[in-house]
Structure 1
Amino acid sequence: MRDSALAEFREQARSWLASSRVPYRATLSDGTDETVGSDDVSVFHNLSFDDEKRLLDRLCAWQRVKFDAGYGALTWPEEFGGRSLTPEFEDAFAIEERAFDTGGSHELLSVTLHLIAPTIRLLGTDEQRRRFIVPLLRGEELACQLFSEPSAGSDLASLGTRAVRAGDDWIVTGRKVWTSGARFAQWGELIARTDPDVPKHQGMTAFMVPMDAPGVEIRPLRQMSGGTSFNEVFLDRVRIPDGQRLGAVGEGWKVALTTLGFERGASSTSGGVGGSLQQTLALASCTGADADPVHRQRLADIVIAHKLGEIANARDKQARESGEPLGAIGSVRKMQWVGRMLGISDFVVAALGPRLVVDSGEWGTYAWGQHVLGAPGYRIAGGSDEIQRNIIAERMLGLPAEPRGDRVTPWRDIRR
């Protein structure tokens, strides 16, 4: 019965997509995506402000079309515009959607849909759910994460941005960094310190802060790959109503862990950034690297890693359909995915040699620098490699946690 329902759903989705006026994605004669010949192998966007805004506008417009047609929030309850379907229906729609050119992807929209909206659903008040969830799921409003700070990245619980109670409001002062898409977001999920006299994990509170509030200043950060995907956000006595507090006072760490859990789940199945397997194979053929025995072995390693990734994704998909939580396996998948990107980087550097940095106009040369320079960033994004290894060691292998005296020391007394 379930198989027939899924087949019927896919047929309906295919028919709707065909009628939606979105162009089909062109393919080559062998059935592969025509974009194998594309120079877009970037890991992070390298676009002007106007071009990035146009990209987000297109993606949000498509999200609204999907949502209004019943395909934009398939696994969500009907009260939020969803259809209460299982993840396999969402996966099936994604497969059908890939046949169409829907405009690409952007991290800010993904953060909005897959990290912040689910966090509000789990931990927000009824009023917050009514206020935020549908606008976020429709792409009407976008939300970024205001978590990391210059001295609180991997050790997020040591953050120092302060929120002080002032009647029915909170006054927030501090600085956040590495915030993806902040210039285009209407809201930010902010974690701030509200009690410096208790251990660091206990004294934080979460808020939804409007990014255009007085006292909020956003400065783009230039990446070595050229783009400005990340931003610094300065908060100077920003007033936030208590009604925009997310979760209880002092439970900001719980909110942060909830969002980070969704982030690791999303990272474990990430795709669509950087050079693909097909693009790498095309580069090998173009440069003649596939005829060199040493390069060919590296290429074989990439193909094997890609196949193992497909098997892992299929296994995780089956677990989701059975209702099993992803848990710490998300950390394993994230590291495997980053390893595949770095493996492609190593091959590209070896295959292109000096041509990697020469903007000669030859296909596939200079543009691959966007992949090589961007890929190492994902060793940090979504939790550094070291943090992922700690999670794997403690939660999967049962190894003892590292001794941490600052877990019981009041935040104010921690040496910084």
Structure 2
Amino acid sequence: MTDTQQRPAIDPNISIEDFEAEALAWLEANAEPRPDASGPIEWGNGEFSVSVFHAMDHDTELEYITNIQNWVIKKAERGYHAIAAPVEYGGLGLSRKHARAYGRLERKFKSHGKHELLGVTTGLIAPTINVFGTDEQKQRFLPDLMSARTLACQLFSEPGAGSDLAGLACRAERDGDEWVINGQKVWSSGAQFAQWGELIARTDVDEVKHKGMTAFMIPLDLPGIEVRPIHQMSGGSSFCEVFFNDVRIPDDLRIGDVGAGWSVALTTLGFERDHSESGSEGAAAGGTWKQLLATAQHEGVTADPVMRDKLMQVYIKDRIESMVNRRAADLAKSGTPGPEGSLGKLLWTEGMYAMTEMISAVLGPKLIADSGEWGTFEWGEHVLGAPGYRIAGGSDEVQRNIIGERVLGLPREPKADTGPWKDVPR
């Protein structure tokens, strides 16, 4: 039986208040309340994590992912994993207001963690298939992706096509009712733990680069696929490179029309850059303003006027980002984020950079010398990881171009790579 068949029916016209009451009762029965976090951090107590990327060995990271996965599957028993998604795909078919109300409630309970692979599966690839997939593909993929029973990664970037994603060279050649894939992808978060991937590949070298690509869903256990984790300077191996050697997939795994891969990729990237739905995982990747303030207070620097001014600059960035994200959520009523998501993503990475500069000034040598003091050396994981997000999901420069061209209506930059892709210098 499916989750939809097992769970009690819910009134599609249920009020926010009644929905919150039902959801709260379920959370109280199935989750552990989070200690009151409205006040300042109590220095020296509990876990202090400000890492941007995970730094775990393979088995520990798999166990961590499985724990989050089990929680999403548990929520799926009541439809709380996909409140605004259609009922036929396992959701509740309610409004985004209902979804945000549940998110506010769940944040009152202890987090089961946060991992890029889960976010990509449920927040990027599932909604992309909802936009571009056929009815058969939606029935096949959406229930298991939204409930995290199946995990999927992005297969977009390449060694020669990162921020210039449209220049990718991984080839998919038609052979009857199949496609043959050859090439390489890189920076694929969680690929070593995923069962599927959303692949963008070059299908027509005679077209201009933006028009010669096609999107596919591809199982990662096929012959000819090799996944290699990449060791990061922050200590973990969250990212992977993936190689394809004569990998065959049927045409019914194609997402969207042939040659429409750029539209599919932009939609996925729009969800990636949209930080308007804050979710329920608690502290954001890279730490919070409250953790930064607590560290500054512990180090006794908050009385210094220059340090106070810098701290307030970080706080202001944090508040502006929150407001922009809420505005983006209001604008994204169609369910597909617009270019405003680029502004939120840019503000987020700028905010992390400001936090890096601030904590470096606050801690000095304690940032690189592990004295065992709580809440100090841990910031090193933030400093090592934060620069990655100035590239991930589109570099800061790409975000500024999107804002300039699509939000402000400025003229496009001159192009030196027009004409068929095969003739573009690489």
**Shorter-chain TM-score: which interval?**
over 0.9
The alpha carbon displacement at 1:128 in A equals 1.1
Change (3 A) 1:28 1:188: closer
CA contact (8 A) 1:268 1:337 kept: no
The equivalent of 1:315 in structure 2 is 327
The residue identity in structure 2 corresponding to 1:310 is S
The alpha carbon displacement at 1:166 in A equals 1.8
Change (3 A) 1:165 1:314: closer
CA distance in 1, matches of 2:284, 2:361: 23
CA distance in 2, matches of 1:328, 1:294: 36
Aligned length: 412
The equivalent of 1:59 in structure 2 is 68
Change (3 A) 1:249 1:181: same
Equivalence map 1:391-402=2 (5 Å): 391-402=402-413
Unaligned runs of 5+ in 1: none
CA distance in 1, matches of 2:326, 2:42: 21
CA distance in 2, matches of 1:42, 1:107: 13
1:187 maps to 2:196? yes
The alpha carbon displacement at 1:388 in A equals 0.5
Does 32-41 or 211-220 show the bigger shift? 32-41
CA distance in 2, matches of 1:29, 1:73: 28
The equivalent of 1:81 in structure 2 is 90
Q: Deviations over 1:121-177 (max 9, x none)?
A: 111122211111101111110110100000001111111111112222111110000
The residue identity in structure 2 corresponding to 1:283 is T
The equivalent of 1:155 in structure 2 is 164
Q: TM-score, normalised by structure 2?
A: 0.91
CA distance in 1, matches of 2:14, 2:179: 53
Q: Deviations over 1:93-140 (max 9, x none)?
A: 111101111311111111111111111111112221111110111111
Residue from 194, 202, 205 that aligns with 1:196:
205
Equivalence map 1:16-415=2 (5 Å): 16-20=26-30, 22-27=31-36, 30=39, 38-266=47-275, 272-320=284-332, 326-407=337-418, 409-415=419-425
The residue identity in structure 2 corresponding to 1:294 is V
CA contact (8 A) 1:17 1:97 kept: yes
Percentage identity across aligned positions? 50
The alpha carbon displacement at 1:326 in A equals 4.3
Q: Where has structure 1 moved over 4 Å in runs of 4 or more?
A: 31-37, 267-271, 323-326
CA distance in 2, matches of 1:382, 1:29: 31
1:5 maps to 2:19? no
Does 38-47 or 181-190 show the bigger shift? 38-47
CA contact (8 A) 1:26 1:33 kept: no
CA distance in 1, matches of 2:303, 2:14: 47
CA contact (8 A) 2:195 2:220 kept: yes
CA distance in 1, matches of 2:82, 2:37: 32
Change (3 A) 1:8 1:31: farther
CA distance in 1, matches of 2:14, 2:177: 54
Change (3 A) 1:36 1:315: farther
CA distance in 2, matches of 1:202, 1:314: 33
Higher helix content, 1 or 2 = 1
* Secondary structure of 1:366's aligned partner: coil
The alpha carbon displacement at 1:307 in A equals 2.5
CA contact (8 A) 2:271 2:337 kept: no
* Secondary structure of 1:205's aligned partner: strand
Q: TM-score, normalised by structure 1?
A: 0.94
Change (3 A) 1:44 1:359: same
Change (3 A) 1:201 1:282: same
* Secondary structure of 2:111's aligned partner: coil
CA contact (8 A) 1:39 1:364 kept: yes
CA distance in 2, matches of 1:160, 1:268: 33
The alpha carbon displacement at 1:335 in A equals 1.0
CA distance in 2, matches of 1:376, 1:253: 26
CA distance in 1, matches of 2:197, 2:179: 15
Unaligned runs of 5+ in 2: 1-11
* Secondary structure of 2:378's aligned partner: helix
CA distance in 1, matches of 2:21, 2:399: 40
CA contact (8 A) 1:36 1:278 kept: no
The residue identity in structure 2 corresponding to 1:308 is I
Change (3 A) 1:318 1:84: same
CA distance in 2, matches of 1:265, 1:183: 25
